[in-house]
Chain A
């Protein structure tokens, strides 16, 4: 057990070094194209996120959605499911929390926790749609979950332009009083306790995936569905449940993020956190335990890109390019390492 943790830490370290190299190369390229000062940009990118406690708090804030979506995606990919509903569930969960918390009133911890759990249940239920379509009818979960994202988005837009809106504040939900939100861990830098929930979720999923029968069957279904069925595992059940749990986790993430870091729900577009979940999962090798460090790392890169964009030469979007290259490289590496393992087994 201990050696396996050590080994996964080593692989993580190698991956992170590689990712840093990718980021540096892309930035240098962008720097040449946009004619910025290479030294300033590199300093801002690598040292900017660590310059003061506010920048560090920003990294910790960025981590929360990344951990939730990363864990959700890891769980589904472990079962062989490429479900994109994490994006819609995160959005829908945040919206539900924004509506529910003011309805429940000001009760310390009770209001946010009930809101978060309800968002998780509701999004898990919506996530059952692509899950059931896949397990019973064999409909590709990728396309169906994408369509579901757009549907959730437009339904939320409808509600927020109408019944769910604050009459005095158009296109937003009611103001969240302090007691409706998750308590702050540190007042000065506005560090919310949702980070703790995120870490607990990652830990819980790790235990679920590696220490329970259900988790074992889920991984087995992902590794080799035919073998799983032959050995008496009801693959369909795990295909569906992995997607439902993943959607619920994403809904929970959206709710925790909103109740920790916002005063109203007023997002006007899908936040793209669902796709970030795939970046995290591929850095973490789909291992829930490795998700928080991966999120810390990506949070660091994000804040770095933000600092670079403040210099004015390179827009913040450069981070998308860096992320895409990281996924592809890690995807390639991941498959290679799996192949080597398979070869070893046969020998």
Chain B
């Protein structure tokens, strides 16, 4: 088992499994910074996944697929903006509703387009290519894991840099943080909290869209109903533990990715029932949330 964990492919796979969780965590980070919780990230990922898979198949272009997946993610978040910001429904309840909507919409789309199938394996996506960086990819161990990954991995790194830049060095970033920390202060100088939150939700949707595209256009190669299986929610948990800090959030998401891969990869390596291995990512999230809250409370008291 140790041999397996220390192998080169283990690290490569951990990163591959973490990518959708990281995107989900970024989506959650941006929306939480603006003071609105977007629990329909899960649903947005799923809708983006089905959109990316089908569009790339029928247009034959992964670029158009990726753009459409991102647009689908944004659309789902705009629905949340409509419900929570415009209609002033509870953002939690609307999020739950939009997740339900996503479950239905995905099945309707895939069944409608592919005559009653619940996955698109008969219409495989055009995959987003992997990128092998010259020279760097020859470095042992990390060369393969970091420098010859899927294009979306590099997009994720760029997204991380842009998020840090956005939050700390731009006017929009300050507005987003104000909308989260102290909306009244922003309103008093003429900022529209609602508009700022809507913009934050657009970025959030874009991130969710990239996560969905990764699932159906890079990781699996087609859409299948239920393929997101809580990764959106795990991303939200990772963000909660990262306490809104982009790098820390990424690290926690990586950790969850590691457990996720351990559960899947371990099925062939370990002689342990796969059903119980599958509980690991969720158990680990539960445990981490508890420990984090306990440590946080202690710090507050001390």
Tier of interface size on chain A: 35 or more
CB <8 Å contact, A315 and B96: no
Which residues from A are CB-within-8-Å of B92? Answer: 82, 142
One digit per residue, 1 when the CB lies within 8 angstroms of any chain B CB and 0 when it does not, for chain A 142-154 equals: 1110111011001
Which residues from B are CB-within-8-Å of A162? Answer: 273
Give Cα A173–Cα B40 distance, bound, in whole angstroms: 35
Task: Name A319-337 residues within 8 Å CB distance of B.
Answer: 319-321, 323-325, 327-329, 331-332, 334-336
The residue in A146, A269, A275 that gathers the most chain B C-beta atoms within 10 A of its C-beta is: A146
Which residues from B are CB-within-8-Å of A157? Answer: 275, 278
Task: Name A8-43 residues within 8 Å CB distance of B.
Answer: 30, 33-34
Q: Is A179 an interface residue (CB 8 A)?
A: no
One digit per residue, 1 when the CB lies within 8 angstroms of any chain A CB and 0 when it does not, for chain B 249-268 equals: 00000000000000000000
Main secondary structure of the interface of A (DSSP, over half): helix
Given A158-B273, A332-B83, A332-B89, the answer on whether A34 and B94 have CB atoms closer than 8 Å is no
Which residues from B are CB-within-8-Å of A272? Answer: 103
Residue of A nearest to B232 (CB): A146
Contact of B107 among A148, A315, A329, A336 (CB under 8 A): A315
CB <8 Å contact, A331 and B101: no
Give Cα A231–Cα B185 distance, bound, in whole angstroms: 31
Q: Is A155 an interface residue (CB 8 A)?
A: yes
Which residues from A are CB-within-8-Å of B99? Answer: 275
Given A146-B233, A323-B97, A323-B100, the answer on whether A335 and B276 have CB atoms closer than 8 Å is no
Residue of B nearest to A140 (CB): B240
Q: Which one, B120-128, B132-140, B213-221, B290-298, is touching chain A?
A: B290-298
Given A318-B104, A335-B89, A335-B90, the answer on whether A155 and B276 have CB atoms closer than 8 Å is yes
Q: Is A223 an interface residue (CB 8 A)?
A: no
Q: Is B2 an interface residue (CB 8 A)?
A: no
Task: Name B230-287 residues within 8 Å CB distance of A.
Answer: 230, 233-234, 236-237, 240, 273, 275-276, 278-279, 282-283, 285-286
One digit per residue, 1 when the CB lies within 8 angstroms of any chain B CB and 0 when it does not, for chain A 257-277 equals: 000000000000100100100
Q: Which one, A131-139, A181-189, A205-213, is touching chain B?
A: A131-139
Which residues from A are CB-within-8-Å of B83? Answer: 328, 331-332
Residue of B nearest to A313 (CB): B112
- Sampled A-B contacts (7; CB under 8 Å): A147-B230, A148-B282, A151-B279, A154-B276, A161-B275, A315-B111, A320-B105
Chain B residues with CB under 8 Å of chain A are 39, 83, 87-90, 92-94, 96-101, 103-105, 107-108, 111-112, 116, 226, 229-230, 233-234, 236-237, 240, 273, 275-276, 278-279, 282-283, 285-286, 289-290, 293-294, 297
Chain A residues with CB under 8 Å of chain B are 30, 33-34, 82, 129, 133, 137-140, 142-144, 146-148, 150-151, 154-155, 157-158, 161-162, 269, 272, 275, 278-279, 282, 315, 317-321, 323-325, 327-329, 331-332, 334-336
